[in-house]
Amino acid sequence: MDTQTVAVEAEVEATHWWFVQRRNLFAAEIDRLGLSRQAAILDVGTGTGANLRLLGRLGYTNVAGIDPSPDAIRFCAEKGLGNVTQGSACAIPFPDATFDLVMATDVIEHIDDDALALREAARVLRPSGILLLTVPTFQSLWGVQDDRSHHKRRYRIEQLLERVEQTPLDVERSYYFNYLLFVPILLARRLMRMASINPSSENEINTPLINRILNGVFRADVATAPYLRPPFGVSALAIARKPAKA
């Protein structure tokens, strides 16, 4: 991810509509798992700390993070968001069977060998541990943010599930989300390309009014997507479990 893109994310993640409601979606999914507040949790690819902020708010006390970017680690430290180690998703610097929950949210699209990253997540999970995984979807939605974030690809949900099936993990639930804004985001990104609009981050394109409106739309989206299972969305989520030992 470009340095300036990371800096913009660090500045806005606490209040930006996308980060705020995505955290609410993750909170609901984590709550379904019934984990102890002492459960061991790893956030793979912390970025500037959105998931660490969420886990702290939920009261989890045994949380670790890794990220390859020194800039991201610095921003997490400056915000007091916890312990983040520099490391790769393809070589997670923790022993086998260390964590009850691994979060890899908008991470594997950055990685050439995404299957290896998923196998690493499975390796560090304890038996019956859970992977919470999200990715951006549909190549037709490729835009400035993908370029700035150095994405390798966007996924269809079928492609994502095929990747997970190459690991020991069993998918328990999956769905698209951010479906209500799919068409507006598609049109906006095409217009930006036609007009050569090229900000450091799409997150810069915001005002208090826009943020309030989109926050409301996205709140309705993340509340309904897990139940409606729409056939499209800007992102996809999967929950996968490592089998218990025989």
On whether the CB atoms of residues 100 and 242 are closer than 8 A, the answer is no
Helix, strand, coil tally for the chain in percent (to 5): 45, 20, 35
Please give the pLDDT value at position 224: 98
pLDDT, mean of residues 20-35: 96
pLDDT tens, position by position, 41-99: 999 999 989 999 999 999 999 999 999 999 889 989 998 998 899 999 999 999 999 99
pLDDT at 229: 97
Residue 3 pLDDT exceeds 80: no
Average pLDDT over residues 202-217: 89
User: Residue 82's pLDDT is what?
Assistant: 83
Neighbours of 156 (CB within 10 A): 15
The yes-or-no verdict on residue 204 having pLDDT over 90 is no
Q: What pLDDT, in 10s, does the model give residues 135-194? A: 999 999 999 889 988 999 999 999 999 999 999 999 999 999 999 999 999 999 999 888
Q: How confident is the model at residue 199 (pLDDT cuts 50, 70, 90)?
A: confident
pTM: 0.93
Instruction: Identify which has the larger pLDDT, 238 or 144.
Output: 238
Q: Residue 5 has what pLDDT?
A: 64
d(C-alpha 216, C-alpha 189), whole Å: 21
- Quote the CA–CA distance of 86 and 203 in Å, as a whole number: 25
- Per-residue pLDDT at 198: 79
Q: Mind listing the pLDDT tens digit for each residue in 112-130? A: 999 999 999 999 999 999 9
Structural domains in the chain, CATH included, are: 3-241 (3.40.50.150)
Question: Dihedral of the CA atoms 163, 167, 170, 174 (nearest 10)?
Answer: -20
> Quick one: pLDDT at residue 92?
97
